[in-house]
Amino acid sequence: MERILQEANPLIKEVVEIYNNLQVEKTTISKMDEAFSKDNNYLNLNLATWSDIREEDLDLLLQEEVINDVSKLFEYQKAMEFRVS
């Protein structure tokens, strides 16, 4: 029984870590989605579109002042890193 617990412990830790990372991703993307929704009248970004945003689109968002705070840009980059990994 002890051997089984020793073998299972790393797997349990890995599952907990994956779950926590998913929660961070979900929270970060939700916050970003909310921030963008507040800042624009013509662009309805939702979770389904985050993975489709290209660098050109980000440039357009910056030009149109949809992103008016540098911290939002960093949050966007973090969210995209989570989606890629």
Indicate whether 49 pLDDT > 70: no
Number of domains in the chain: 1
Indicate whether 60 pLDDT > 50: yes
Indicate whether 15 pLDDT > 70: yes
Q: Between these two residues, 12 and 69, which has the higher pLDDT value?
A: 12
- Percentage of the chain beyond pLDDT 90 is 0
- Domain of 77 in residue numbering reads as 2-84
Mind giving me the DSSP string for the chain?
-HHHHHHHHHHHHHHHHHHHHHHHHHHHHHHHHHHHHHH-SS----HHHHTT--HHHHHHHHHTTS---HHHHHHHHHHHHHHH-
Q: What is the mean pLDDT of the chain?
A: 66
